[in-house]
Amino acid sequence: MTTTIFSAKRIITMNPSRPFATHVAVRDGRVLSVGTLKEVSAWGDANVDDRFSDQVVMPGLIEGHSHLVEGALWDHTYVGYYDRTAPDGRVWPGLKSVDAVVERLQEASAAQDDPDAALIGWGFDPIFFGEQRMHARDLDRVSNGRCIGVFHASLHFLNVNSAVIEDSDLAASTDMQEVMTDARGAPTGELAGMVGMYLAMKSLKFDLGSQATHPPALWNFAKVCQLAGVTTATDLHSPLDDEMVGRLTGETDKADFPLRIVSAFGGTLMPADKGTARIGSLVSKSTDKHKMGIVKLVLDGSIQGFTARLKWPGHFNGAPNGLWYIAPDEFKKTVLAYNAAGHQLHIHTNGDEATELALDAIEEALATNPHPDHRHTLQHCQMASDAQFRRMAAMGVGVNLFSNHVYYWGDQHYELTLGPDRAHRIDNAGSAVEHGVDLALHSDAPITAIGPLFTAWCAVNRVTSTGKHLGGDAERLTVEEALHTITMGGAISLKLDHEIGSIEVGKLADFAVLNEDPFEVDPMALKDVDVWGTVVGGEVFEAPQV
């Protein structure tokens, strides 16, 4: 029985009875003691490990809403507008023009041996390119022969080259809303919705969902998390079939796998009677580093895609209301069934009409089958009103807000989707805290990059990518509150707060190791705090030095 004492410049524990310390003793992968060297040494013989003596140690960060497809995407070429860190630690600079995207794809094409294999780009975001859209002839400059597809950041749009257009019937289908056309009425190669996903899967042989749990993708995902100081991350919608569960258990069990993964079962992938049986049978298959038991339901679409369900007055630009992904009555029955079976629900609601329906459904389900500590949680919940937070508080419903939206889409919400009033209250973390609603924050990776410190920065500063501030000071979190949400907040929302989220005796020895103290830096620099690496169950994982 070996005990290791890690010393650090400072340990931020997130345990209010001992908020700061200098030493933490670890035994059997768990925290044995936190305090001064003298205090933690009282448990007997120990090796003292001083490698963090210049670092700040805090509880391992928790990403409460992400998707494993982030890992699968890193097998392909990143062409996004913002810098993004790859699993190997290399930072891919953001691309600020279509030409720059073409250039990076040319390099990737040259490096790809098989001349017939498709080339995939991802993360593309033309939002700052003004009127300029990418055209198939841009991608034709990359390669004549091979099929090329470039996914937008949302994954709901795709640009393809002429080879894919010729392989399809798009030229004869330009009257469809999915097919963008140029001034002459010809398809530009920009596709929306299922048409794009279908052609990607058929012509480009690109199947993101099935790749996501393959070992290379799992390792990519784990490393991206490690680089961001994350020790527990979610795959917040999974079919969790036997094959997937086998792969997840097999890889995460490896001692050098640097991440705990919490998989949420996609609750509408099968009828609720079968779904409750399925998830019930999976709980006992949870392991130290792969947890199952929570259930995800998706109620509406996205605000920026105009598919969220909004209450009056609807979209600012007059676009019609969004889509239900499940019929309201069917949704209520589904909530009732999973709640009755005792499973914690994580419900995707973007628009405030969807949030209202989710709260109605939970209220009815709890009236039928009360659970004192259900912790059902609304995910995204970006437009929640004061009244809705009050209902959440009254029912014990938690919220996991998509704070990265403030930065990435805040301007669009202000000008296009929601208008000034509701843009100011987007992802209003301050209101959640004010009402005493259990709060977590997320990236929804791969939609935005995993980086809880960046997410915390968004909630603290509420500044858009063009520098606009959304919401008054009341909606901002303090740095302390924000750090609480990306550690304890995440743990509470996953019902894992007895195991992770703070550095205190009995909990797993999961730490984020930082080169700077997040309490010491300017709040506007919180996102730039450098991550040294992580500790998971006492195992040290240093981020690669690039």
- Please give the residue ranges that form the binding site for another protein (CB under 8 A): 167-170, 172-173, 176-179, 191, 193-195, 197-199, 201-202, 207, 209-210, 239, 241, 266, 269-271, 274, 320-321, 323-330, 353, 357
- Per the document, the length of the chain is 546
DSSP-derived letter for residue 377 is E
For another protein, give the closer residue by CB, 5 or 383.
Answer: 383
Segment holding 108, helix H or strand E: helix 98-111
Minimum distance from residue 532 beta carbon to another protein (Å): 38
For another protein, give the closer residue by CB, 237 or 442.
Answer: 237
How is 405-448 classified by DSSP, letter by letter?
Answer: HHHHTHHHIIIIISHHHHHHTTT-HHHHHHTT--EEE--TTTTS
**Residue 30: count of CB within 10 angstroms of its CB:** 16
For another protein, give the closer residue by CB, 282 or 326.
Answer: 326
Minimum distance from residue 274 beta carbon to another protein (Å): 7
Minimum distance from residue 199 beta carbon to another protein (Å): 6
For another protein, give the closer residue by CB, 127 or 270.
Answer: 270
For another protein, give the closer residue by CB, 37 or 269.
Answer: 269
Minimum distance from residue 159 beta carbon to another protein (Å): 15
Dihedral through CA 155, CA 161, CA 167, CA 171, nearest 10?
90
Minimum distance from residue 211 beta carbon to another protein (Å): 12
Angle CA 528–529–532, to nearest 5: 125
Q: Check if the beta carbon of residue 60 is closer than 8 Å to that of residue 539.
A: no
Q: Check if the beta carbon of residue 448 is closer than 8 Å to that of residue 64.
A: no
Minimum distance from residue 318 beta carbon to another protein (Å): 14
Region of 443 please: left (phi>0), alpha (psi -120 to 50) or beta: alpha
For another protein, give the closer residue by CB, 195 or 521.
Answer: 195
For another protein, give the closer residue by CB, 328 or 523.
Answer: 328
Minimum distance from residue 357 beta carbon to another protein (Å): 7
DSSP-derived letter for residue 469 is B
**Both tokens of residue 536?**
């998971």
Which candidate, 20, 159, 1, places its Cα nearest to that of 77? 159
Minimum distance from residue 328 beta carbon to another protein (Å): 5
For another protein, give the closer residue by CB, 195 or 395.
Answer: 195
Reduced to 3 states (helix: H, G, I; strand: E, B; else coil), residue 512 is strand
Minimum distance from residue 319 beta carbon to another protein (Å): 12
User: Whole-angstrom Cα distance, residue 327 to residue 471?
Assistant: 33
For another protein, give the closer residue by CB, 330 or 520.
Answer: 330
Q: Mapped to the 3 state alphabet, what secondary structure does 252-281 carry?
A: HCCCCCCCEEEEEEECCCCCHHHHHHHHHH
Diameter of the chain measured on Cα atoms: 80
Give the bridge partners for 157, in sequence order: 192
